[in-house]
Amino acid sequence: MIARHFWTGARIFLAIVNIAGLPLLLDERADFDVLAGLACGAVLFVALYFWLKKHPSAEGRFMMLDAPFWPMAHYPRAYWFTIGCSLSLSSSVALITHINDLQALQFFGGIFFVSIAIVLGVIYSISPRDGKGA
């Protein structure tokens, strides 16, 4: 019971740290924008897809809040799914809070596309042959 609450709390903590820390990455010299996010996201999607296909794991509940996600070597799908969801949540909050700044919209929009590519890479790597998803 305590372990379930630990992993839920760890995910909430990770999301809070990302929401608080992501705006600190914004710099007026940052060249990362939506196009760079789409390009990096496409490469990351393909890399994650093939890596997770090559190294299958027995994680059936990787999308659950109370499922362990650390260490990455034992729970690769849960790890990448948690990272992708946390980044998409924090970049969405940053997009909403920086709606007036065009550079911030491009920067956080690029990070949003990278995070969505991570989540999609994990989801599409699930083999349809397995009933439980891994």
Give the per-residue pLDDT at 134: 45
How many other β-carbons are positioned within 10 Å of the β-carbon of residue 51?
Answer: 13
Burial readout 72-85 (b: 16 or more C-beta within 10 A, e: otherwise): eeebbbbbbbbbbb
Give the per-residue pLDDT at 114: 94
Q: How far is CA 36 from CA 20, 49, 59, 90, 101, in A?
A: 23, 20, 32, 18, 18
pTM for the full model? Answer: 0.82
Cα(63)–Cα(98) distance, rounded to whole angstroms?
A: 29
In this prediction, the residues of the chain whose per-residue pLDDT falls under 50 are 131, 133-134
Give the per-residue pLDDT at 129: 58
- What is the torsional sign of CA 82, 87, 90, 95? negative
Give the per-residue pLDDT at 132: 52
Give the per-residue pLDDT at 22: 87
Q: For the chain, where are the E strands, in sequence order?
A: none
